[in-house]
Amino acid sequence: MRIEEDCIGKLAIDEDVLYGIHTTRALTNFPISTERTDPLLFKSLIIIKKAAAQVNAAAGTLDVRKSRAIVAACNSLLMGEHQDALVAPAIQGSAGTSVNMNVNEVVANLASAELKTIRVHPNDDVNQSQSTNDTYPTAGKMAALQALPPLKQALTFLIKTLDAKAHEFADVVKVGRTQLQDAVPTTYGHSFHAYASLFRRDLARLTRAAADLQAVNLGGTAIGTGLNASPYYRSHIIRQVNQLIDLQLKPAEDLIDATQNCDVLVAFSGAMKGLATDLSKVANDLRLLSSGPQAGLNELHLPAKQAGSSIMPGKVNPIIPEVVNQIAFQVIGQDVTISMAAEAGQLELNAFEPIIFRDLLQGERYLARGIATLTSNCVAGLTVNREQCETAVHHSAISATVLSPYLGYEATARLIQHSMKQHVAIPDLLRSEHKLSAAMIARLFSPMVMTNQETVPDLSIAEK
């Protein structure tokens, strides 16, 4: 054991661990779960420490030998070594100080071990020119930016797959439904194209919201004024971080604003919430349209992925849309947490960024993985029950809406009521009552006209 001391007092630390007194206290104070701070956030903090050591040495405020030792320690951590020393809890008090100090202590101990006769101090050397209040939010934004490409890639693949399905099913006419009641016909080509359009907007919103994450308050130290950071450091630190990892970071226009306000994180979370909401809506549609097969709509056939019941033989459930629904519920709930955490910030700092970044990063991963499984295990392999769709269209009285311009609204409504009461198809009623010619009836009830892909001119012209 070794004895370390801080402003609270002395504490015995296990001789074998690389972290120090602050991290040890955090492990005792925050036994909320076994979840550690996200690896991407740790990675981003380590990159900041490396860049800071290099810039401070160039500014002449940090001994060159210490700078090199700090850089070497950071490199070893970035290569995956000593990961068991990065243990700060994901949910914690003090605005991320425990995470920042966990990295400071580990880097300092590794650097000191390399120098042997020179001690590298976690605060004076590793944390020089910094504060948790600028390194932690910067690292959180860096982590969110790094977690975004897999999500965007998954979403792009889903859009392409939906576009392919729109082309594949362009000729399949189906009954439209509004408020779960029959509506005018459409096609499954239209339906899947609409899904693709929906997710294209989500992708655009995510991209716009992510651009604001590139503005960081690094160099602002405690409250954005840059106290204890040299002018050289403040003008060079973000440039140096960008050299180590190309995230195109830039200084926030107002460092004080960027230190205390989390609106850009709320906006990014909002874009993810919108995506989650849309995913859940589409998952609901897929479950409803594939319901049955005997007692449901049975218009879509989703790929069978596993047995759905321990008691009912042969039952297969829509498990992929179901898991996507649950991911959406989680992300939407996390958006509420993020919004409350951002609102709860006071004066010059928001103390609740640990839960914000924990939920943002988890949400990005959940969405990326959920979209990937939705695409590969469901959408790519789904098929349309063409026979069921055709039967439903032919027996839907609402398809007679196409007659309104020719017979009038009231006459068409009476025709529909008659059809439903007598269980007679609309075209058959029209023929029996000689209201329109056979050619006109055939044309009006053709798939192209019913789905408004082809218009019919004036009745007098059309009958010619």
For the domain 137-219+254-387, what is the CATH code? Answer: 1.20.200.10
Tell me the average pLDDT across 142-147: 98
The string over 88-105, giving b where at least 16 C-beta atoms fall within 10 Å of a residue's C-beta and e elsewhere, is bbbebebbbbbbbbbbbb
Per-residue pLDDT, 437:
84
What pLDDT, in 10s, does the model give residues 14-45? 999 999 999 999 999 999 999 999 999 999 99
Comparison of pLDDT for 442 and 84, the residue scoring more: 84
Instruction: Please identify which of the residues 33, 129, 309, 460 carries the catalytic annotation.
Output: 309
Q: Which tokens is 401 given?
A: 């809406």
Judge whether 29 and 93 are in contact, CB under 8 Å. Answer: yes
Q: Which tokens is 65 given?
A: 């030998």
Judge whether 121 and 105 are in contact, CB under 8 Å. Answer: no
- Could you tell me the residue ranges of all domains in the chain? 2-128, 137-219+254-387, 395-462
- Among residues 284, 281, 288, the alpha carbon closest in space to that of 202 is found at 281
Percent of the chain past pLDDT 70, that is, above it, reads 98
Comparison of pLDDT for 131 and 393, the residue scoring more: 131
Judge whether 142 and 39 are in contact, CB under 8 Å. Answer: no
Tell me the average pLDDT across 142-171: 98
Give me the half-sphere count of Cα atoms (radius 13 Å) on the Cβ side of residue 442. Answer: 4
Helix (H) or strand (E) holding 281: helix 263-289
Whether 464 has a pLDDT exceeding 50, the answer reads no
Tell me the average pLDDT across 293-317: 92
Judge whether 94 and 37 are in contact, CB under 8 Å. Answer: no
Helix (H) or strand (E) holding 300: strand 300-301
Q: Tell me the CATH architecture of domain 2-128.
A: Orthogonal Bundle (1.10)
What pLDDT, in 10s, does the model give residues 278-290? 999 999 999 999 9
pLDDT band of 405, cuts 50, 70, 90: confident
Judge whether 122 and 52 are in contact, CB under 8 Å. Answer: no
309 catalytic residue (yes or no): yes
Note the helical H segments in 95-187: 97-115, 132-168
Q: Does domain 395-462 have CATH number 1.10.40?
A: yes
